[in-house]
Amino acid sequence: MALTLPFRRKRDPDPPAPVQRRLDPLPSARFRAEREADWRRLDALLSKVEKRSAAALTDEELLALPTLYRATVSALAVARETSLDRALIDYLEGLSTRAYFFLYGVRGRIGPRIAAFFRHDWPAAVLSLWRETVGSVLLLVAGTIAGYALVASDSNWFMALAGGMAQGRSPSATTQQLRDILYKGGTDGLEGLATFLFTHNAQISLLCFALGFLLAVPSTILILMNGLTLGAFLALYADRGLAGELVGWLFVHGTTELFAITLAGAAGIRIGWAVAFPGRLSRLDGMAAAGRQSGTVMAGVVVMLFVAALLEGFVRQLVTIDWLRYLIGGAMLALWLAYFYGPAGRRR
């Protein structure tokens, strides 16, 4: 008879074999297969932009970019959360970063960006401000008519309106003195004169733009004041029978200079309008959006003022033939109009 020890534990039976968990052998592969088409398309679009520019994309491709970017970022979040393979996460991080910098950051190298600015961005921004530009032109014309009427009725208004711009031109000057100013020519000190003119006009334009946030009131006043000054000079020279000569003298650089100041006024009006009537945006957001658009215009205005200073400081002083002055000024005006309102502003 077999004896059983009282304190001896009965030996446990063999433990059951561990249950094998059924794991998906290739989760990353399936995850990739479901989304890879979007990633490849985003990659292709970004490569296209990086090799050329945003202008290389069609409207459909531009609209697809934000959607593809969001889908990629969402896939990256899932990949990180579920600890998919490192190579896939690295790929999605790189793709998301490239898309982010294109959509929200500074894109491309400085050379292509400058080329894109002159090829499309600047004329497109000017074209988008056409209503404000028309308003600014009307203000300038209204000021010119008012200045002309005031001086024509009472010459004492001239000094009040011309101020420091008179520089020897006044109702007390003789006709010959006024004529000499238009045709005196010469080359001495032209570099300094061009610099002074550029600085003076740049100050006016920047004030028109920068003070626009005050509901565009200062911008409007500055445009009107420029018109009043212009009208005062026209009345003075018209009284001496030199109106045509004066217009030719102004035309050389004025078509560029006044156009630039008018655009600066339009940019200020756009910002003021965004503050007064923000629409669905907050006033701050509306002003920021208008500021970005107007800022592009102002960057080009500086270029126009530089060109105007060269025309005024050199070409106007060296060219003393009336018809040639009209031809140069008219050609510059036609060039600007074709550039801003022609195909360049509409090209994508």
What pLDDT, on a 0 to 100 scale, did the predictor assign at position 195? Answer: 67
Average pLDDT score over residue span 2-9: 42
Range in 109-123, 136-150, 174-188, 262-276 with the lowest mean pLDDT: 174-188
Average pLDDT score over residue span 193-211: 72
Q: What is the mean pLDDT of the chain?
A: 80
Instruction: Report whether pLDDT(110) > 60.
Output: yes
The distance of Cα 185 from the centroid of its chain, to the nearest Å, equals 37
pLDDT above 90 coverage of the chain, percent: 24
Instruction: Report whether pLDDT(21) > 50.
Output: no
Taking only the tens place, the pLDDT of each residue in 165-178 is 777 788 888 888 88
The confidence band for 1, taking pLDDT boundaries of 50, 70 and 90, is very low
What pLDDT, on a 0 to 100 scale, did the predictor assign at position 14? Answer: 52
Taking only the tens place, the pLDDT of each residue in 217-231 is 888 888 999 899 999
Q: Which residue has the higher pLDDT, 137 or 87?
A: 137
Taking only the tens place, the pLDDT of each residue in 180-189 is 888 876 555 5
